[in-house]
Structure 1
Amino acid sequence: MTVGPADLTEVKALTFDVFGTVVDWRSSVIREGEALGRARGLDVDWAAFADAWRGGYAPAMNRVRQGELPWTRLDDLHRMTLDRLIDEFGLGEALDEADRAHLNRAWHRLDPWPDSVTGLRRLKSRFILATLSNGNVSLLVNMARHAGLPWDCVLSAELAGHYKRDPEVYHKACELLDLAPHQVMMVAAH
Protein backbone atom coordinates (compact mmCIF):
# COMPACT_ATOMS: atom_id res chain seq x y z
CA MET A 1 0.00 0.00 0.00
CA THR A 2 1.33 3.42 -0.92
CA VAL A 3 0.88 6.18 1.63
CA GLY A 4 0.53 9.73 0.36
CA PRO A 5 1.18 13.00 2.23
CA ALA A 6 -2.53 13.48 3.02
CA ASP A 7 -2.54 10.12 4.81
CA LEU A 8 0.14 11.36 7.23
CA THR A 9 -1.97 14.14 8.72
CA GLU A 10 -3.26 11.81 11.44
CA VAL A 11 0.20 10.67 12.56
CA LYS A 12 0.76 11.83 16.13
CA ALA A 13 3.75 9.73 17.19
CA LEU A 14 6.97 8.59 15.61
CA THR A 15 8.51 5.44 17.06
CA PHE A 16 12.14 4.85 16.21
CA ASP A 17 14.24 1.86 15.63
CA VAL A 18 17.40 2.94 17.43
CA PHE A 19 20.42 0.77 16.58
CA GLY A 20 21.71 2.06 13.26
CA THR A 21 18.84 4.48 12.69
CA VAL A 22 19.59 6.97 15.47
CA VAL A 23 22.91 5.77 16.88
CA ASP A 24 26.10 4.51 15.26
CA TRP A 25 26.40 1.20 17.08
CA ARG A 26 29.31 -0.07 14.99
CA SER A 27 31.74 2.84 15.47
CA SER A 28 30.75 3.10 19.13
CA VAL A 29 31.41 -0.59 19.85
CA ILE A 30 34.71 -0.45 17.95
CA ARG A 31 35.72 2.64 19.99
CA GLU A 32 34.88 0.86 23.25
CA GLY A 33 36.83 -2.23 22.16
CA GLU A 34 39.85 -0.19 21.12
CA ALA A 35 39.88 1.59 24.49
CA LEU A 36 39.74 -1.74 26.30
CA GLY A 37 42.44 -3.13 24.01
CA ARG A 38 44.77 -0.22 24.78
CA ALA A 39 44.14 -0.57 28.51
CA ARG A 40 44.81 -4.33 28.48
CA GLY A 41 47.46 -4.46 25.74
CA LEU A 42 45.28 -6.53 23.40
CA ASP A 43 45.77 -6.82 19.65
CA VAL A 44 42.24 -7.44 18.36
CA ASP A 45 40.45 -6.61 15.12
CA TRP A 46 37.75 -4.66 16.92
CA ALA A 47 35.79 -4.01 13.71
CA ALA A 48 35.51 -7.76 13.14
CA PHE A 49 34.65 -8.22 16.81
CA ALA A 50 31.87 -5.58 16.61
CA ASP A 51 30.47 -7.12 13.44
CA ALA A 52 30.51 -10.61 14.96
CA TRP A 53 28.82 -9.33 18.11
CA ARG A 54 26.05 -7.68 16.14
CA GLY A 55 25.89 -10.79 13.97
CA GLY A 56 24.81 -12.72 17.07
CA TYR A 57 21.84 -10.40 17.62
CA ALA A 58 19.20 -12.04 15.39
CA PRO A 59 20.20 -15.65 16.20
CA ALA A 60 20.00 -14.89 19.94
CA MET A 61 16.53 -13.36 19.59
CA ASN A 62 15.44 -16.34 17.50
CA ARG A 63 16.41 -18.65 20.38
CA VAL A 64 13.85 -16.76 22.48
CA ARG A 65 11.23 -16.76 19.72
CA GLN A 66 11.62 -20.52 19.23
CA GLY A 67 11.29 -21.25 22.94
CA GLU A 68 14.87 -22.44 23.38
CA LEU A 69 15.29 -19.61 25.91
CA PRO A 70 12.61 -17.94 28.05
CA TRP A 71 12.02 -14.21 27.54
CA THR A 72 15.50 -12.69 27.88
CA ARG A 73 16.47 -9.01 27.92
CA LEU A 74 18.73 -7.84 25.12
CA ASP A 75 21.50 -7.00 27.64
CA ASP A 76 21.56 -10.66 28.62
CA LEU A 77 21.50 -11.86 25.02
CA HIS A 78 24.38 -9.49 24.25
CA ARG A 79 26.30 -10.95 27.18
CA MET A 80 25.78 -14.53 25.99
CA THR A 81 27.13 -13.58 22.57
CA LEU A 82 29.98 -11.57 24.12
CA ASP A 83 31.11 -14.51 26.25
CA ARG A 84 31.21 -16.73 23.17
CA LEU A 85 33.16 -14.14 21.18
CA ILE A 86 35.68 -13.59 23.97
CA ASP A 87 36.54 -17.26 23.68
CA GLU A 88 36.53 -17.22 19.85
CA PHE A 89 38.85 -14.20 19.75
CA GLY A 90 41.16 -15.76 22.36
CA LEU A 91 40.50 -13.13 25.03
CA GLY A 92 39.37 -15.44 27.82
CA GLU A 93 42.50 -15.02 29.94
CA ALA A 94 42.84 -11.29 29.26
CA LEU A 95 39.41 -10.05 30.36
CA ASP A 96 38.10 -10.40 33.88
CA GLU A 97 34.46 -10.15 34.91
CA ALA A 98 34.65 -6.36 35.39
CA ASP A 99 36.06 -5.95 31.86
CA ARG A 100 33.35 -8.17 30.40
CA ALA A 101 30.56 -6.35 32.23
CA HIS A 102 31.93 -2.96 31.17
CA LEU A 103 32.27 -4.05 27.54
CA ASN A 104 28.75 -5.50 27.52
CA ARG A 105 27.42 -2.12 28.61
CA ALA A 106 29.04 -0.50 25.56
CA TRP A 107 25.57 -0.80 24.04
CA HIS A 108 24.39 1.67 26.73
CA ARG A 109 27.00 4.21 25.56
CA LEU A 110 26.37 4.36 21.83
CA ASP A 111 27.00 7.68 20.11
CA PRO A 112 24.31 9.30 17.96
CA TRP A 113 24.77 9.96 14.28
CA PRO A 114 25.92 13.59 13.84
CA ASP A 115 22.46 14.82 12.79
CA SER A 116 20.29 12.64 15.05
CA VAL A 117 19.81 14.95 18.02
CA THR A 118 19.11 18.02 15.87
CA GLY A 119 16.71 16.06 13.67
CA LEU A 120 14.87 14.59 16.64
CA ARG A 121 14.48 18.02 18.22
CA ARG A 122 12.93 19.34 15.01
CA LEU A 123 10.51 16.41 14.82
CA LYS A 124 9.64 16.75 18.51
CA SER A 125 7.94 20.09 17.85
CA ARG A 126 5.28 18.23 15.86
CA PHE A 127 5.24 14.60 17.04
CA ILE A 128 5.55 12.47 20.13
CA LEU A 129 8.95 10.79 19.86
CA ALA A 130 9.54 7.35 21.30
CA THR A 131 11.97 4.53 20.91
CA LEU A 132 10.59 1.21 19.73
CA SER A 133 13.60 -1.00 19.99
CA ASN A 134 14.55 -4.53 20.92
CA GLY A 135 16.90 -2.95 23.46
CA ASN A 136 15.73 -3.29 27.05
CA VAL A 137 14.39 -0.23 28.85
CA SER A 138 17.49 0.39 31.01
CA LEU A 139 19.75 0.15 27.96
CA LEU A 140 17.62 2.65 26.03
CA VAL A 141 17.40 5.08 28.95
CA ASN A 142 21.15 4.99 29.53
CA MET A 143 21.82 5.39 25.82
CA ALA A 144 19.46 8.36 25.60
CA ARG A 145 21.18 10.05 28.53
CA HIS A 146 24.64 9.36 27.07
CA ALA A 147 23.75 10.54 23.57
CA GLY A 148 21.40 13.40 24.54
CA LEU A 149 18.47 11.86 22.65
CA PRO A 150 15.29 13.86 23.36
CA TRP A 151 12.71 11.07 23.58
CA ASP A 152 9.29 11.76 25.04
CA CYS A 153 9.20 8.16 26.19
CA VAL A 154 11.17 4.96 25.95
CA LEU A 155 9.27 2.00 24.56
CA SER A 156 10.91 -1.36 24.28
CA ALA A 157 10.12 -4.82 23.03
CA GLU A 158 10.74 -5.77 26.66
CA LEU A 159 7.36 -4.20 27.56
CA ALA A 160 5.58 -6.63 25.24
CA GLY A 161 7.72 -9.64 26.12
CA HIS A 162 8.36 -10.13 22.39
CA TYR A 163 10.99 -8.97 19.92
CA LYS A 164 10.33 -6.91 16.82
CA ARG A 165 9.03 -7.98 14.11
CA ASP A 166 6.49 -9.78 16.30
CA PRO A 167 3.22 -7.80 15.97
CA GLU A 168 2.75 -7.73 19.75
CA VAL A 169 5.56 -5.16 20.01
CA TYR A 170 3.85 -2.68 17.69
CA HIS A 171 0.41 -3.22 19.21
CA LYS A 172 1.83 -2.66 22.71
CA ALA A 173 3.40 0.65 21.58
CA CYS A 174 0.04 1.89 20.26
CA GLU A 175 -1.68 0.77 23.46
CA LEU A 176 0.88 2.49 25.71
CA LEU A 177 0.69 5.70 23.67
CA ASP A 178 -3.13 5.49 23.67
CA LEU A 179 -3.13 5.92 19.90
CA ALA A 180 -4.61 3.98 17.00
CA PRO A 181 -2.15 2.19 14.70
CA HIS A 182 -2.69 4.73 11.89
CA GLN A 183 -1.57 7.47 14.31
CA VAL A 184 1.84 5.90 14.94
CA MET A 185 4.61 5.73 12.36
CA MET A 186 7.68 3.53 12.70
CA VAL A 187 10.95 5.17 11.62
CA ALA A 188 13.82 2.92 10.62
CA ALA A 189 16.86 3.24 8.36
CA HIS A 190 18.87 0.10 7.72
Structure 2
Amino acid sequence: MSQNEVKALVFDVFGTVVDWRTSIINECEILGQQKHIDIDWSKFVDDWRAGYRPAMDKIRNDGEKWRVLDDLHMDILLELLKSHSISLNSDEINHLNKCWHRLHPWKDSVNGITRLNSKFITATLSNGNVGLLTNMAKFAKLPWTCILSAEIFKHYKPDDEVYKGAANILDLEPKEVMMVAAHKSDLLAAKSNGLVTAYINRPNEFGKYSVEVEDVEKDIDIWASDIESLADQLECS
Protein backbone atom coordinates (compact mmCIF):
# COMPACT_ATOMS: atom_id res chain seq x y z
CA MET A 1 0.00 0.00 0.00
CA SER A 2 1.39 3.42 -0.95
CA GLN A 3 2.45 5.75 1.84
CA ASN A 4 2.58 8.68 -0.57
CA GLU A 5 -1.20 9.09 -0.51
CA VAL A 6 -1.40 9.44 3.28
CA LYS A 7 -2.84 12.73 4.51
CA ALA A 8 -3.73 11.90 8.11
CA LEU A 9 -2.21 9.84 10.90
CA VAL A 10 -4.56 8.49 13.56
CA PHE A 11 -3.05 7.15 16.76
CA ASP A 12 -3.83 4.57 19.32
CA VAL A 13 -3.02 6.36 22.58
CA PHE A 14 -2.72 4.02 25.59
CA GLY A 15 0.71 2.45 25.33
CA THR A 16 1.51 3.95 21.94
CA VAL A 17 1.66 7.63 22.92
CA VAL A 18 1.46 7.58 26.72
CA ASP A 19 3.02 5.36 29.37
CA TRP A 20 -0.24 4.47 31.10
CA ARG A 21 1.20 1.80 33.41
CA THR A 22 3.98 3.81 35.04
CA SER A 23 1.74 6.88 35.27
CA ILE A 24 -1.04 5.06 37.10
CA ILE A 25 1.24 3.01 39.35
CA ASN A 26 2.87 6.26 40.50
CA GLU A 27 -0.50 7.84 41.31
CA CYS A 28 -1.67 4.73 43.15
CA GLU A 29 1.52 4.53 45.19
CA ILE A 30 1.11 8.15 46.26
CA LEU A 31 -2.47 7.38 47.30
CA GLY A 32 -1.24 4.33 49.20
CA GLN A 33 1.29 6.42 51.11
CA GLN A 34 -1.32 9.06 51.94
CA LYS A 35 -3.92 6.53 53.08
CA HIS A 36 -1.50 3.98 54.59
CA ILE A 37 -2.61 1.26 52.16
CA ASP A 38 0.09 -1.36 51.75
CA ILE A 39 -0.63 -3.50 48.68
CA ASP A 40 1.12 -4.41 45.45
CA TRP A 41 0.01 -1.41 43.41
CA SER A 42 1.67 -2.71 40.25
CA LYS A 43 -0.58 -5.77 40.34
CA PHE A 44 -3.57 -3.59 41.20
CA VAL A 45 -2.95 -1.49 38.07
CA ASP A 46 -2.35 -4.54 35.89
CA ASP A 47 -5.63 -6.03 37.12
CA TRP A 48 -7.39 -2.74 36.41
CA ARG A 49 -6.12 -2.76 32.86
CA ALA A 50 -6.89 -6.48 32.46
CA GLY A 51 -10.58 -5.76 33.02
CA TYR A 52 -10.67 -3.32 30.11
CA ARG A 53 -11.03 -5.78 27.23
CA PRO A 54 -13.71 -8.01 28.82
CA ALA A 55 -15.74 -4.92 29.75
CA MET A 56 -15.62 -3.63 26.17
CA ASP A 57 -16.40 -7.05 24.73
CA LYS A 58 -19.68 -7.14 26.64
CA ILE A 59 -20.68 -4.09 24.59
CA ARG A 60 -19.09 -5.23 21.33
CA ASN A 61 -20.30 -8.83 21.41
CA ASP A 62 -22.99 -9.29 24.05
CA GLY A 63 -25.34 -6.44 23.22
CA GLU A 64 -24.83 -4.37 26.36
CA LYS A 65 -25.75 -0.68 26.08
CA TRP A 66 -22.98 1.65 24.93
CA ARG A 67 -20.99 3.21 27.78
CA VAL A 68 -17.85 5.35 27.67
CA LEU A 69 -14.49 4.10 28.87
CA ASP A 70 -14.55 6.27 32.00
CA ASP A 71 -17.62 4.31 33.13
CA LEU A 72 -16.03 0.95 32.35
CA HIS A 73 -12.89 1.96 34.24
CA MET A 74 -15.06 2.94 37.21
CA ASP A 75 -16.83 -0.44 37.29
CA ILE A 76 -13.51 -2.28 37.31
CA LEU A 77 -12.04 0.06 39.92
CA LEU A 78 -14.96 -0.41 42.31
CA GLU A 79 -14.58 -4.18 42.11
CA LEU A 80 -10.85 -3.94 42.78
CA LEU A 81 -11.32 -1.62 45.75
CA LYS A 82 -13.87 -4.05 47.18
CA SER A 83 -11.65 -7.09 46.64
CA HIS A 84 -8.74 -5.35 48.41
CA SER A 85 -10.97 -4.00 51.22
CA ILE A 86 -9.91 -0.44 50.39
CA SER A 87 -12.25 2.25 51.68
CA LEU A 88 -12.23 5.61 49.88
CA ASN A 89 -14.79 8.40 49.78
CA SER A 90 -16.55 9.28 46.52
CA ASP A 91 -14.26 12.22 45.74
CA GLU A 92 -11.18 10.04 46.21
CA ILE A 93 -12.63 7.32 44.00
CA ASN A 94 -13.53 9.78 41.25
CA HIS A 95 -10.08 11.35 41.39
CA LEU A 96 -8.44 7.95 41.20
CA ASN A 97 -10.58 6.90 38.24
CA LYS A 98 -9.61 10.10 36.45
CA CYS A 99 -5.94 9.15 36.67
CA TRP A 100 -6.49 7.78 33.15
CA HIS A 101 -6.85 11.45 32.13
CA ARG A 102 -3.44 12.26 33.62
CA LEU A 103 -1.07 9.98 31.75
CA HIS A 104 2.48 10.99 30.93
CA PRO A 105 3.74 10.72 27.34
CA TRP A 106 6.69 8.66 26.23
CA LYS A 107 9.68 10.97 25.85
CA ASP A 108 9.48 10.99 22.03
CA SER A 109 5.73 11.56 21.73
CA VAL A 110 5.30 15.33 21.95
CA ASN A 111 8.16 16.25 19.63
CA GLY A 112 7.37 13.39 17.27
CA ILE A 113 3.73 14.46 16.87
CA THR A 114 4.79 18.09 16.50
CA ARG A 115 7.05 17.11 13.62
CA LEU A 116 4.34 15.00 11.98
CA ASN A 117 2.00 18.01 12.17
CA SER A 118 4.26 19.76 9.66
CA LYS A 119 2.96 17.46 6.90
CA PHE A 120 -0.10 15.60 8.17
CA ILE A 121 -3.30 15.81 10.13
CA THR A 122 -2.70 14.03 13.44
CA ALA A 123 -5.55 12.69 15.54
CA THR A 124 -6.25 10.25 18.29
CA LEU A 125 -8.18 7.11 17.40
CA SER A 126 -8.61 5.60 20.81
CA ASN A 127 -11.16 3.69 22.83
CA GLY A 128 -10.86 6.47 25.39
CA ASN A 129 -13.81 8.87 25.47
CA VAL A 130 -13.56 12.41 24.14
CA GLY A 131 -13.36 14.05 27.55
CA LEU A 132 -10.62 11.67 28.68
CA LEU A 133 -8.55 12.23 25.54
CA THR A 134 -9.02 16.01 25.64
CA ASN A 135 -7.95 16.24 29.27
CA MET A 136 -5.01 13.96 28.57
CA ALA A 137 -3.90 16.08 25.61
CA LYS A 138 -3.89 19.17 27.82
CA PHE A 139 -2.11 17.40 30.69
CA ALA A 140 0.55 15.76 28.52
CA LYS A 141 0.83 18.68 26.05
CA LEU A 142 0.02 16.43 23.10
CA PRO A 143 -0.41 18.66 20.01
CA TRP A 144 -3.16 16.78 18.16
CA THR A 145 -4.87 18.35 15.17
CA CYS A 146 -8.12 16.85 16.43
CA ILE A 147 -9.56 14.30 18.84
CA LEU A 148 -11.27 11.20 17.44
CA SER A 149 -12.68 8.59 19.77
CA ALA A 150 -14.64 5.37 19.78
CA GLU A 151 -17.29 7.42 21.56
CA ILE A 152 -18.03 9.29 18.32
CA PHE A 153 -18.84 6.06 16.50
CA LYS A 154 -20.45 4.23 19.45
CA HIS A 155 -18.18 1.30 18.70
CA TYR A 156 -14.97 0.12 20.32
CA LYS A 157 -11.89 -0.94 18.40
CA PRO A 158 -11.35 -3.29 16.71
CA ASP A 159 -14.85 -2.86 15.25
CA ASP A 160 -14.74 -1.86 11.58
CA GLU A 161 -16.94 1.16 12.25
CA VAL A 162 -14.14 2.92 14.13
CA TYR A 163 -11.58 2.74 11.33
CA LYS A 164 -14.04 3.46 8.52
CA GLY A 165 -15.60 6.21 10.61
CA ALA A 166 -12.26 7.92 11.18
CA ALA A 167 -11.59 8.17 7.46
CA ASN A 168 -15.13 9.33 6.78
CA ILE A 169 -15.16 12.02 9.46
CA LEU A 170 -11.86 13.39 8.11
CA ASP A 171 -13.35 13.39 4.58
CA LEU A 172 -10.62 11.03 3.38
CA GLU A 173 -10.38 7.66 1.72
CA PRO A 174 -9.13 4.85 4.00
CA LYS A 175 -5.93 4.63 1.92
CA GLU A 176 -5.25 8.28 2.85
CA VAL A 177 -5.23 7.48 6.58
CA MET A 178 -2.42 5.80 8.49
CA MET A 179 -3.18 3.97 11.74
CA VAL A 180 -0.30 4.28 14.21
CA ALA A 181 -0.22 1.82 17.10
CA ALA A 182 1.98 -0.30 19.33
CA HIS A 183 -0.46 -3.21 19.11
CA LYS A 184 -0.56 -5.64 16.22
CA SER A 185 -4.27 -6.45 16.60
CA ASP A 186 -5.20 -2.77 16.20
CA LEU A 187 -3.09 -2.47 13.07
CA LEU A 188 -4.43 -5.65 11.48
CA ALA A 189 -8.00 -4.43 12.02
CA ALA A 190 -7.11 -1.06 10.50
CA LYS A 191 -5.40 -2.75 7.55
CA SER A 192 -8.45 -4.92 6.89
CA ASN A 193 -10.41 -1.68 6.51
CA GLY A 194 -8.02 -0.20 3.98
CA LEU A 195 -5.86 2.00 6.22
CA VAL A 196 -2.08 2.24 5.92
CA THR A 197 -0.35 0.98 9.08
CA ALA A 198 2.62 2.00 11.20
CA TYR A 199 3.86 0.00 14.17
CA ILE A 200 5.53 1.80 17.09
CA ASN A 201 7.73 -0.45 19.20
CA ARG A 202 6.99 0.01 22.92
CA PRO A 203 8.74 -2.91 24.61
CA ASN A 204 8.27 -1.45 28.10
CA GLU A 205 4.52 -0.83 27.98
CA PHE A 206 3.74 -3.63 30.42
CA GLY A 207 6.90 -3.38 32.50
CA LYS A 208 8.43 -6.75 33.30
CA TYR A 209 5.52 -8.45 31.53
CA SER A 210 6.31 -6.77 28.22
CA VAL A 211 7.02 -8.79 25.13
CA GLU A 212 7.76 -7.58 21.62
CA VAL A 213 5.24 -8.52 18.97
CA GLU A 214 6.79 -11.21 16.81
CA ASP A 215 6.78 -11.06 13.01
CA VAL A 216 4.98 -7.71 12.97
CA GLU A 217 7.07 -6.32 10.12
CA LYS A 218 5.56 -8.60 7.49
CA ASP A 219 2.03 -7.49 8.43
CA ILE A 220 2.38 -3.70 8.50
CA ASP A 221 3.63 -0.93 6.21
CA ILE A 222 6.08 0.86 8.52
CA TRP A 223 8.00 -0.30 11.60
CA ALA A 224 9.35 2.47 13.84
CA SER A 225 11.28 2.40 17.09
CA ASP A 226 9.32 5.43 18.33
CA ILE A 227 7.30 8.39 17.02
CA GLU A 228 10.43 10.42 16.24
CA SER A 229 11.59 7.52 14.06
CA LEU A 230 8.22 7.54 12.29
CA ALA A 231 8.62 11.28 11.63
CA ASP A 232 12.08 10.58 10.20
CA GLN A 233 10.74 7.90 7.87
CA LEU A 234 7.93 10.17 6.69
CA GLU A 235 10.48 12.95 6.08
CA CYS A 236 9.03 15.43 8.55
CA SER A 237 11.24 18.30 9.63
Scaled to the shorter chain, the TM-score interval is over 0.9
Distance 2:6 2:100 in 1: 30
Higher relative contact order (CA 8 A, sep 6+): 1
CA RMSD of aligned residues (A): 0.9
Q: Which residue of 2 aligns with 1:48?
A: 43
Q: Which residue of 2 aligns with 1:113?
A: 106
Question: Any gaps of 5 or more consecutive residues in structure 2?
Answer: 184-237
Letter in 2 for 1:33: C
Q: Which residue of 1 aligns with 2:79?
A: 84
Structure 1 runs of 4+ with >2 Å offset:
66-69
Deviation readout 1:137-165 (Å, 9 max, x if unpaired): 00000000000000000000000000000
Q: Taking structure 1 as the reference length, what is the TM-score of the superposition?
A: 0.94
Query: Does the residue aligned with 1:10 lie in a helix, a strand or coil?
Result: coil
Cα offset, 1:173, TM superposition: 0.7
Letter in 2 for 1:178: D
Letter in 2 for 1:28: S
Letter in 2 for 1:165: P
Cα offset, 1:69, TM superposition: 2.3
Question: Any gaps of 5 or more consecutive residues in structure 1?
Answer: none
Structure 1 or 2: more helix by fraction: 1
Selected match of 1:165 from 149, 158, 162: 158
Cα offset, 1:66, TM superposition: 2.5
Distance 2:59 2:76 in 1: 14
Query: Does the residue aligned with 1:66 lie in a helix, a strand or coil?
Result: helix
| Identical aligned residues as a percent | 56
The yes-or-no answer on 1:99 pairing with 2:66 is no
Selected match of 1:130 from 123, 130, 150: 123
Cα offset, 1:179, TM superposition: 0.4
